[in-house]
Structure 1
Amino acid sequence: MKANRMEAFSDGVLAIIITIMVLEFKVPEGHDWHALIDLGPKVLSYLFSFVYVGIYWSNHHHLLHMIRTMNGRLMWLNLILLFWLSLIPFTTGWMGDSDFAPAPMALYGIILLLSAISYRGLQLAILNQYPDDSAIFKSMGKDWKVRISPFLYLIAILTAYVSPWVSGFFYVLVALIWVVPEKRIEHFLRGK
């Protein structure tokens, strides 16, 4: 298998994840603008998750272009990442239905944490295809975003029981950290 087939499959899964999330919206029973107010929590949780899936799609796209040799290990690590990401629609729906109750907020963080750990596993497996002294290996091995994100997710999970708003702040903070795709990968790919 070539890496572009894995990328196409992943793109399809991520597109389905976004589609499933938007299908959670039910048409309001009212016929005026006020009827949409009740959808506020669902819309906000959808927006959260849409941004997260978009961030993963963008960074995943860059990451897969670094693959030198495709193998079964990379395929399985990619599937593990997609598994965790595929649970985002469930937690998104639960958060919106519960008006951001503590347990759904915490579970959302757990899914994001496991997605981040899976992404890092895939990243390391790809980086291991390069010599330890290569510029990309040295550069990506010290990725501060990858190191700080799990810590921030843990804080968000724990604070979900104190305040969903504080928890949400940490989820937004991680999204802001990752919203710009990895520039080091772009520079590396341009230099190839």
Structure 2
Amino acid sequence: MEKNRLEAFSDGVLAIIITIMVLELKVPHSAELAALAPLWPTVASYVLSFIYVGIYWNNHHHMFQASRSVDASVLWSNLHLLFWLSLLPFATGWMGENHFARWPTVCYGVDLFACASAYHILQTRLVRHHGAESRLAQVIGRDMKGKASVVLYAFGIALAAADFPRVGALLYVAVALMWFIPDRRMERAIRARES
């Protein structure tokens, strides 16, 4: 099957997710600069989630540029990923509104863990569809960053649940920083395919 519709649908869903998140930012009723101070947790959680959605969009885009086609299992795996990403506005809002409190931060981490797991499943389905000897499989390799992300999310969730939510949130930030720069192997594979 062609992959174009999957990519267009995913792009649309991710754009809606970002729109929903920004609509959750409430404008202060005062014109004083001090009125922004109470909003810092909401804005911080929004910025973190915006970065995460951007990371997923970027890596999703690169992965599908390196893919030739999709099958039904890839379509369902992609929907699975989009489901967990669509919960990000809820988790973001709850964590921000409650100033990175224990259970909202746990919930946010669980959603990030589920997103990472769903992305891994999607990646695995794409590799299986293209074959273990495909260029995509070679580029993805052992996916150490992906595996490290899941482990760090688990530690972040555990720390937040143990009543250290800000330390857990710092681990979520660390994972985002780790993924901020896209994997150059994927870009090289795309260029090689195009030439």
* Post-superposition offset of 1:118: 0.5
Task: Kindly provide the CA deviation profile for residues 128-170 of structure 1, in whole angstroms up to 9, marking residues without a partner as x.
Answer: 2334344542341311101111100000001113322211111
CA deviation vs aligned residue, 1:85-111 (integer Å, no higher than 9, x gap): 000000100011111101000010100
Match of 2:184 in 1: 183
Long gaps (5+) in structure 1 = none
For residue 82 of structure 2, what is the amino acid of its counterpart? L
Higher mean C-alpha deviation, range 104-113 or range 175-184: 175-184
The count of residues paired between Structure 1 and Structure 2 equals: 192
Corresponding letter in the other structure for 2:49 = S
Alpha-carbon distance in structure 2 between the residues aligned to 1:136 and 1:81: 19
Q: Deviations over 1:14-51 (max 9, x none)?
A: 01101100101122122210111111110011011001
The corresponding residue for 2:167 is 166
Q: Is the 8 A contact 1:88 1:108 kept in 2?
A: yes
Partner Cα distance (2:78, 2:97) in 1: 30
Aligned partners of 1:95 and 1:105 also within 8 Å:
yes
Q: CA RMSD in A?
A: 1.4
Which stretches in structure 2 are left out of the alignment for 5+ residues?
Answer: none
- Tell me which amino acid in the other structure corresponds to 1:82: L
Residue 117 (structure 1) aligns with: 117
Contact 2:131-2:137 at 8 Å conserved across structures: yes
Larger mean CA deviation between 149-158 and 29-38 belongs to 29-38
Matches of 2:117 and 2:36, distance apart in 1: 37
| Pairing of 1:122-161 with structure 2 (within 5 A) | 122-134=122-134, 136-160=136-160, 161=162
Q: Does the CA contact (< 8 Å) of 2:71 and 2:129 recur in 1?
A: no
Name the amino acid aligned to 2:41: P
Q: Matches of 1:103 and 1:113 in 2, distance apart?
A: 15
- C-alpha separation between the residues in 2 aligned to 1:58 and 1:135? 19
Q: State the alpha-carbon separation in 2 of the partners of residues 134 and 102 from structure 1.
A: 44
